[in-house]
Amino acid sequence: MLLSRELSLIGSKTDRLIDLLKKLDATTYLSGPSADSYLDKQAFREHGIRLEYKSYEYLEYPQLWGDFEGAVTVLDLIANCGPDAKNYIQSQTPNKVVVEFGLS
């Protein structure tokens, strides 16, 4: 584990993120889909870094009170299902690939 300041990152916004990914030899960046409004996808293409947006399609699991509420943290899943949480944690749909591997 290290602090990002230890990497002497340059740039701002997406350029700074790309600098971080390159310094860590990352080939893929997984983000939430709301980042689509501000990430520079062309920068990922230029540096050959795959960009994916996380899919959040999970199975319903038993909750203690009322109807199922999916817009909660993973702590709710763990508290309600304990060791069985591992059976519900994988999204039912694949992540959305926005930028594929390789330079273009």
pLDDT digits (tens, 9 = 90+) for 31-40: 999 999 999 9
Q: What was the pLDDT predicted at 25?
A: 96
Report the C-alpha gap between 11 and 9 in whole angstroms: 7
Q: What is the pTM of this model?
A: 0.77
pLDDT in tens, 24-70: 999 999 999 999 999 999 999 999 999 999 998 889 999 998 899 98
What pLDDT shows up at residue 103? 56
Does the structure show a pLDDT above 70 at 81?
yes
Confidence band of 102 (pLDDT split at 50, 70, 90): low
- The SS3 assignment for 46 reads helix
Q: How far apart are CA 54 and CA 74, in angstroms?
A: 15
